[in-house]
Amino acid sequence: MSILKIIEYGTPSLREKSKEVIKVSKKIKNLVSDMLETMYHANGVGLAAPQVGQNLRIFVVDVSDPKGPIDPIVFINPKIIKKSGAINSYEGCLSFPQAYTNVRRYKNVMVKALDINGRPFVKEARDGILLARAIQHEFDHLDGKLFIDHCRNRFEANNVLAKYNLPPVEEDRLIDEQFLEDEIVEYEKNHPEEVEKLKKEIEESENSKQ
């Protein structure tokens, strides 16, 4: 096992569409082991193969309590088969050192994938829990999409990126998600206490990197 170099925002290969894995070979299993080691080393909750220079449809997540035992989930050739609801998610990415911003995500997702033994499984994550958001974040990496493409406010996102000397949001990459934005705004209007809670969490927590 070895720790791999994580590619940073601005590198063209992060914007490429990744290829399906044909066979979960020994080589793929080794790559997954290295990805897990790299993710834990970087204190991340998720890592996608393109982030370590392999444009293959693989990602790993571990949203378990960092103080408890590890609980990695490996997704090979994942497909999102259901998504619904909308939520504000405050996200960072291992390819964007230190930069966090508010993005739009679905609240509930169901994903089908192959596990490390090449066996199919289905995973559902609801209510906007970290797993639901991490799955969407990592899945995007496989299509060359990045969390900033979902930003709720590109001025806020650009300020954060500039602070860390990263290139600005690419306007033609921004995803039109007005329907998600409308739902988030409506939710926030009816649940001001949730908005306050999230604000506090953002201020207090270190936040997880994906």
Residues that bind Ni ion (CB under 5 A): 93, 210
Q: Compute the least distance from the CB of residue 135 to Ni ion, in Å.
A: 12
Nearer to Ni ion, 143 or 188 (CB): 143
Nearest to 184 by CA among 109, 100, 90: 90
> Out of 16, 37, 138, 203, which one is annotated catalytic?
138
Nearer to Ni ion, 11 or 25 (CB): 11
CA distances from 133 to 15, 29, 198 (A): 20, 25, 15
Nearer to Ni ion, 38 or 210 (CB): 210
Active site residue 138: yes
- Could you give the 3-state DSSP secondary structure of residue 9? coil
Q: Is 59 exposed, middle or buried (0-12, 13-18, 19+ CB in 10 A)?
A: buried
Q: Compute the least distance from the CB of residue 51 to Ni ion, in Å.
A: 6
- Could you give the CA distance from residue 115 to residue 32 in angstroms, rounded to a whole number? 11
Q: Compute the least distance from the CB of residue 99 to Ni ion, in Å.
A: 11
Q: Which residue sits closest to Ni ion, CB atoms considered? A: 93
Provide the annotated active-site residues: 138
